[in-house]
């Protein structure tokens, strides 16, 4: 039998728990939701993000009014970076995360249940998830340069 030969390799995405999530003690709750869904943590690290990595990570937003406040916010405390694996995990994690604006994010999602954006210059929406296979490959290389 050769049933498995044509299967696509399992997909990977880059997840960040942003400084608001780490500061509020929500890293465990967020990782719990990822694992409860059935996704697998391939690599996890807690680190202080550099301005260089953040400018490259958020390059698509350079020039927007929220760009500099966003970079500053992302440097306000440690970030938890994770490589998460699973079938259709790029789309699936963004479903778990919910809409970018925590006020609009549906209940049941990470941002809808736990995120805040009132009175803040940057949406403190707890998590980042890659938005395409190309972004995932680029972002995993940026945050985990040693990972095969």
* Binding of residue 85 to ligand GDP (CB under 6 A): no
Which span (3-11, 77-85, 117-125, 135-143) binds ligand GDP, by CB under 6 A?
117-125
Does position 57 bind ligand GDP by CB under 6 A? Answer: no
Regarding beta strands 127-129 and 79-86, do their DSSP bridges make them parallel or antiparallel, or are they unpaired? unpaired
Instruction: Measure the CA angle with vertex 33, ends 83 and 99; round to 5°.
Output: 85
N- to C-terminal Cα distance for the chain? 30
- Counting contacts by CB under 6 A, is residue 123 touching ligand GDP? yes
The answer on whether 67 is annotated among ligand-binding residues is no
Residue 128: active-site member: yes
Q: Can you tell me the distance from the alpha carbon of 97 to that of 81, in angstroms, rounded to the nearest whole number?
A: 15
Q: Are 48 and 121 in contact (CB under 8 A)?
A: no
Binding-site residue positions: 18, 66, 94, 100, 111, 125
Active site residues: 128
Residues placed in the known binding site for ATP: 18, 66, 94, 100, 111, 125
């Amino acid at each position: 039998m050769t049933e498995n030969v044509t299967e696509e390799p399992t997909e990977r995405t880059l997840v960040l728990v942003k400084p608001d999530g780490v500061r509020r003690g929500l890293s465990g709750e967020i990782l719990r939701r990822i694992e409860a869904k059935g996704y697998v943590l391939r690599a996890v690290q807690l680190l202080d993000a550099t301005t260089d990595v953040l400018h490259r990570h958020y390059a698509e937003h350079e020039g927007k009014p929220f760009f500099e406040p966003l970079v500053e916010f992302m440097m306000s405390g440690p970030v938890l970076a994770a490589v998460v694996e699973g079938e259709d995990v790029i789309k699936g994690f963004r479903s778990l995360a919910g809409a970018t604006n925590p006020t609009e994010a549906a209940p049941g999602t990470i941002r809808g249940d736990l995120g805040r954006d009132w009175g803040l210059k940057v949406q403190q929406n707890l998590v980042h998830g890659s938005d395409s296979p190309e972004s995932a490959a680029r972002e995993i290389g940026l945050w985990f340069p040693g990972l095969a």
